[in-house]
Amino acid sequence: MTAATARRSRSPLPAATGIGALVAFFATMEVLVQSGMVNRFIVPPPSEIFGSFGRVIVEEHVFGRFLQTLTECLTAGVMLTVFGVAGGVLMHRFKLLQQACETWVAALASAPIVLMYPLFLVIYGRSAWTIIMMGFFAALPPVILKTIEGISGTRKVLINVGRSFNLTPSQQFWKILFPSALPTIFVGIRLGLIFALINIVGVEFLINYGGLGQLINDLAERYDLAGTYAAICFVILVSVLFFMALEKVERWLRPVD
């Protein structure tokens, strides 16, 4: 890392700009709603949303629901990382398997997995595992595809250097292919976590089983708009925590000089 890059990374300006833009957005929405330009029965004023946080936390046991959704997302995330990366490596290793299955995996990425929740309910019952497995299957394709892309994109010169040192296939993979593919693999994991979180909250909402998705459903049915938007903010917080944790893991695996 150069000195200029280090100074930019320590600068508070990017964070301040982001916070300022967020504050400006909420202030603009407040003015639009209060002036009647935006219907308050569709979007409540941000002041009401922020004011409902305390009530939602106290009355709706939001931290317990938050931990349930976070645990489901974490479980699905660990599973998709292990099986997604392993599946991508396996498909890259056996070209016939890749040629046979890659198109199907890509098609699965665009399939509306959430509509299959009745089948998952039959298989796993009305339990947290239905939610976890739906999040897992919905998030698996991007991890597999990005793993294949990352390994396939390794520069030939690096592979030739490994061969010149008489590295075994295992050493070639762990010392050259995998480290070179890590940035692309992490892109796939990020995409997978987005799909997993969307599906997990969506299924919680559909089957009305615990977590923040059920909370959003309950508040919406009561037409508590401010509370509903507050619960959606907690879903966003889950996403932020995931991405912060993933960023730290990536920095640990890929230390910068």
| Tens digits of residue pLDDT in 173-183 | 888 888 888 88
Measured CA angle at 151 (ends 112, 88), to 5 deg? 40
Helix (H/G/I), strand (E/B), else coil: 222? coil
Q: Report pLDDT for 257.
A: 46
In the predicted model, is pLDDT for residue 9 greater than 60?
A: no
Spatial contact of 117 and 93, defined as CB atoms under 8 Å apart: no
The mean of the pLDDT values for the chain is 85
Dihedral sign, Cα of residue 240, residue 241, residue 244, residue 250: negative
Q: Is the pLDDT of residue 194 over 90?
A: no
Which are the contacts of 149, defined by CB distance < 8 A and separation ≥ 6?
184, 188
| Residue-level pLDDT at 1 | 46
Amino acid 8: pLDDT: 53
Classified by CATH at the fold level, domain 61-253 comes out as MetI-like fold (1.10.3720)
**Residue 84 · residue 147 · CB < 8 Å:** yes
Among residues 15, 233, 210, the alpha carbon closest in space to that of 130 is found at: 210
Whether 143 shows a pLDDT value over 90: the answer reads yes
Q: Which of 14-23, 77-86, 169-178 has the highest mean pLDDT?
A: 77-86
Residue 144: pLDDT band by 50, 70, 90 thresholds? very high
What's the rounded mean pLDDT across residues 91-95?
A: 89
Q: Identify the residue with better confidence: 144 or 244.
A: 144
pLDDT band at 52 (very low <50, low <70, confident <90, very high): confident
pLDDT digits (tens, 9 = 90+) for 202-237: 888 888 887 888 888 888 888 888 888 888 888 888
Pair of tokens at residue 117: 């929740």
Strands (E), the chain: none
More confident of the two residues 245 and 186: 186
Query: Model pTM?
Result: 0.79
**Whole-number pLDDT of residue 255:** 55
Residues 30-50: pLDDT tens digits?
A: 898 888 888 888 888 888 888
On the question of pLDDT at 3 being above 50, the answer is: no
